[in-house]
Structure 1
Amino acid sequence: MTRTMLLLVLISSSVTYGKAQDKNQGKIEYEVIQNLHAALKPDQQQFKEMIPETVTDNAEIYFNGTKAKLVAKKKDHSSEEDGVKLKVQSDQDNVLATYMDVNKTYKLTDLGGGKKELQLQTHDFKGKGLGKAGSRTRNILGLTCREVIMDGPGSKMVLWIADDLPFTGGPMGIPSDKGAILGIESKVLKITATAINYVPVPVAEVSIPAGVEVKEKKDK
């Protein structure tokens, strides 16, 4: 009896230790819902009946320690009505991947003609933080996320940030002063982490590719 009980304790301790170690690296899957109607400008309202109210895409973040790589998994949302073709596009369509490491963001951009460029942004929060701390918390995939509110022109964006993950930043290439972004809510955008798998991720996978020119941009 005593030997059996001791063996079970040792196994339990081993499993717990292994799970804790796994949280340093893994893959997070996101669902990205864009409200196209809410994004229309006053002079674009005539297109409301020609496009869907919302479109859904996916994104993935791979991370190892403080390094992370974001890859958008966009679908073709083109439509045609009465001979008029509409295609949903954004200024991020030519971004192949986004690399994040502490307060730096590198966007691997397709310049066309086989040329690529890494656009570097260094984020200096100057002790002010990312935004205003909210009073709510939210559980996403078993992780407690704190609320951060970012005010924008005419709207606000709510971020849900988990401090238990080792990297900073999140989907859409949005930076974070601390913690990983697992949820984003605004008038035109709703992003939620739908799965997290603590699997081995090679450091090379989340490091910027060698041989690509780096062009630095000033943080806004």
Structure 2
Amino acid sequence: MNHLSKTLLSAALVAFSGITAMAQDKNAGVIDYEVSAKMGPRGGNTDGGDAEEQVITFSQHFFFTAGKGKLATERPDFGGRNGQAPPQGPPPGENGGGPGRGQGRGMRGGFGGPAYVDLAGKKYIQVFTKPDDSTKTYYAEEDFATPKDVKLTDKTKKVAGYNCKKATVTLRDETYTVWYTQDLPFSYSPINGLLPEANGVVLSAESDRRSFSAKKIDLKPVAATETAIPANAEKISQDQLRDMRREQMQKFRDRQNNRN
């Protein structure tokens, strides 16, 4: 093999290695979302008057690597509501609701802790630890929900540097404008049931009550431990998880009422 052939072969190998590395890089990284959600008036007073709904804005970070993911939520500013957020609200998703009226119903990663995702198995995993017994951790799984009312369009735009398609999706009583990319090698939506097609990652969605948008996608190595659920977590049903959360929410309300 002459010198020119060796040079061309080396260049081809370098180019192939670069393409392979770029493809592998897309399997690990962090998506930073900005989320806004409407809440009921302070104190829960909805009887007319000048009471206005409160809007909270906060950040969520979705870590992904090796077919696993974790959505972590930064503590939002609740506008001075006793300086506290309710403990790990009811399970989000198709049949759940956020902690309190309008607090981002369906959003993964409740205010009380992270939520995990089995990207390979297409399951959301909600982890819960009782505030009064931190020695035990529980988790429940929920399959990715297929949306029932989807309208695909030919419109496209870039979100966080990625080519996205536009669709409208109705989930329960809300209609969302959704932008999703198929340039990442997995499927995911921060709200279960909003993924317009089987393959894609939702980077932006907006309804009358809530919205989220990816501001940055950082492709970088993520430790497997970052997206792994606690090793001692005990698997329970969604009904059991819902009952536990209701119990803790009632305890939270009782404590708040005793302070007033």
TM-score (norm 1): 0.75
Q: How many residues align?
A: 206
Q: Which of the numbers 21, 24, 34 marks the counterpart of 1:18?
A: 21
The root-mean-square deviation of aligned C-alpha atoms, in Å, is 3.4
Q: Give SS of 1:171's match.
A: coil
On the 8 A contact 1:108/1:118 being kept in 2, the answer is: yes
Q: Which of the numbers 184, 203, 206 marks the counterpart of 1:165?
A: 184
TM-superposed CA distance for 1:73, in Å, is 1.1
Q: CA–CA distance in 1 between the matches of 2:172 and 2:131?
A: 33
Q: Percent identity?
A: 23
1:146 aligns with 2:165: yes
Task: Report the residue type matching 1:159 in the other structure.
Answer: V
For structure 1, the residue ranges without an aligned partner over 5 or more in a row are none
Number of the residue aligned with 2:62: 61
- Alignment CA distance shift 1:163-1:43 (3 Å): farther
TM-superposed CA distance for 1:191, in Å, is 0.7
Q: Give SS of 1:18's match.
A: helix
1:78 aligns with 2:82: no
- Alignment CA distance shift 1:9-1:130 (3 Å): farther
Number of the residue aligned with 1:133: 151
TM-superposed CA distance for 1:149, in Å, is 2.3
Number of the residue aligned with 2:217: 196
1:47 aligns with 2:47: no
Instruction: Decide which structure has greater strand share.
Output: 1
Q: CA–CA distance in 2 between the matches of 1:71 and 1:100?
A: 11
TM-score (norm 2): 0.65
Task: Report the residue type matching 2:151 in the other structure.
Answer: A
Q: Give SS of 1:169's match.
A: coil
On the 8 A contact 1:148/1:160 being kept in 2, the answer is: yes
Q: Give SS of 1:209's match.
A: coil
- Alignment CA distance shift 1:16-1:217 (3 Å): same
Number of the residue aligned with 2:30: 27
Q: Does 201-210 or 56-65 show the bigger shift?
A: 201-210
For structure 2, the residue ranges without an aligned partner over 5 or more in a row are 87-97, 100-109, 240-260
On the 8 A contact 1:169/1:175 being kept in 2, the answer is: no
